[in-house]
C-alpha cells in the first residue's frame, strides 16, 4: 500500500509537471522556434530511466552490500555472540511485524551497522566487528533495533522512490534547458547542436547537486525515526548510550565504502554548506532529540 500510494503521488506530480509546462507555454515557445519536442514523451522517457536505475540499485542492494563490505551472513551460529545476534534480531523483527532479515557481520574496527534490502520481508541487517567489540550488549541491541526500525519503516524503498523522482526531474529539466538554449538562444536549426549537449550536461550536474540535497534531507529525517524504533525495541537508555558510544568514536576515519555510507548507523560529520550533503544528522542532535522525546511524555 505504501508503494502504491507513493507511486500514485509521483504519477500525479509528473502529470502536474506536464500540465504546468503546457500552461506556461514552453511547448509553444519551442515549436515557434522550430523545435518539434514532445514534452510528455520526454517526461515519460526520463521517468523510465530515473526510476529504472533507482529500482535496479534497490534490487541489487543486498548483493552490493555484501560484496562491498565483505559481510558474512550467519547461517549456522559458531559461538554465543552469533546465536545472541540471531535471537535478538528475530525477537525484534517479530515485534516490528517484519520477516526475519538475514544477519551478517563485517570486519571493521569502526563501530557501525547497516540495513538494506528490497522489501520489509527480505532484508539484511549487518554489524561490524568494531561495534561488537566496543559496545555493551544493551547498546548493540539498541543498534540492531535501529536497523530493524529502518526495515520496518520501509526506508530503503522510500528513499529509492524519492531518488527515482529526483532522477526523473534532473534528466527532464536538463534536457529541456538544453533544447531551449540550442534552438531558442543559439538559433540552431539543424538537429541537436553542441549547445544542446554542453548545456544539458552542465544543467544535469548543477541540478544533480541540488537534487542530492533533497535526498539527503529525507535520509536525515529517517534516522530520527529509526532512533525512535531502536528506543522502543531495546529501551531509550540503551539507544542513547549507543549513540553516545558512537559519538566517542566519531573521530575515527570512516571505513564504510562510499556506496554504503548512507546506510550505516553513523556517518562522517560535515560543517557549513557540506552539512546539506550529510546522510545522517549530527549525533549530538539525535541524542538531544531522544532525550527531548522522553521529557515531553
Helix (H) or strand (E) holding 198: helix 194-234
Cell numbers found for residue 229: 524504533
Task: Give the C-alpha distances (Å, rounded to integers) separating 137 from 78, 86, 114, 266.
Answer: 18, 13, 17, 18
Candidates 139, 147, 204, 228; catalytic one: 147
How far is CA 111 from its chain centroid? 20
DSSP helix/strand/coil, 227 = helix
147 is catalytic: yes
Distance CA 169, CA 30 (A): 19
CA nearest neighbour of 66 among 281, 244, 200, 263: 263
Candidates 67, 103, 102, 66; CA nearest to 82 is 103
For 127, the enclosing helix (H) or strand (E) is strand 123-128
Closest C-alpha among 207, 201, 133 to residue 170: 207
Helix (H, G, I), strand (E, B) or coil at 126: strand
Biggest CA-to-CA distance, the chain: 74
The residues annotated as belonging to the active site are 147
Amino acid at each position: 500500500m505504501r508503494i502504491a500510494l507513493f507511486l500514485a503521488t509521483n504519477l500525479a506530480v509528473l502529470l502536474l509537471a506536464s500540465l504546468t509546462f503546457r500552461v506556461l507555454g514552453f511547448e509553444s515557445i519551442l515549436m515557434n522556434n522550430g523545435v518539434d519536442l514532445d514534452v510528455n514523451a520526454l517526461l515519460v522517457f526520463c521517468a523510465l530511466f530515473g526510476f529504472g536505475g533507482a529500482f535496479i540499485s534497490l534490487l541489487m542492494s543486498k548483493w552490493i552490500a555484501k560484496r562491498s563490505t565483505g559481510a558474512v551472513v550467519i547461517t549456522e551460529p559458531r559461538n554465543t555472540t552469533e546465536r545472541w545476534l540471531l535471537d535478538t534480531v528475530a525477537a525484534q523483527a517479530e515485534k516490528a511485524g517484519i520477516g526475519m532479515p538475514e544477519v551478517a557481520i563485517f570486519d571493521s574496527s569502526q563501530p557501525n551497522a547497516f540495513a538494506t534490502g528490497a522489501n520489509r520481508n527480505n532484508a539484511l541487517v549487518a554489524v561490524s566487528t568494531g561495534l561488537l567489540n566496543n559496545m555493551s550488549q544493551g547498546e548493540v541491541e539498541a543498534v540492531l533495533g535501529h536497523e530493524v526500525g529502518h526495515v520496518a519503516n520501509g526506508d530503503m524503498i522510500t528513499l529509492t522512490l524519492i531518488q527515482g523522482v529526483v532522477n526523473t526531474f534532473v534528466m527532464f529539466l536538463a534536457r529541456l534547458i538544453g533544447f531551449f538554449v540550442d534552438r531558442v538562444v543559439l538559433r540552431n536549426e539543424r538537429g541537436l547542436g553542441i549547445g544542446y549537449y554542453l548545456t544539458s550536461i552542465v544543467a544535469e550536474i548543477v541540478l544533480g547537486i541540488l537534487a542530492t540535497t533533497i535526498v539527503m534531507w529525507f535520509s536525515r529525517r529517517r534516522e530520527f525515526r529509526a532512533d525512535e524504533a531502536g528506543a522502543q525495541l531495546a529501551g531509550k537508555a540503551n539507544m542513547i548510550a549507543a549513540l553516545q558510544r558512537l559519538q566517542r568514536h566519531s573521530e575515527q576515519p570512516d571505513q564504510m565504502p562510499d556506496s554504503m555510507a548512507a546506510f550505516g548507523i553513523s556517518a562522517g560529520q560535515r560543517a557549513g554548506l557540506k552539512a546539506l550533503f550529510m546522510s545522517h544528522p549530527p549525533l549530538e542532535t539525535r541524542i538531544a532529540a531522544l532525550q527531548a522525546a522522553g521529557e515531553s511524555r
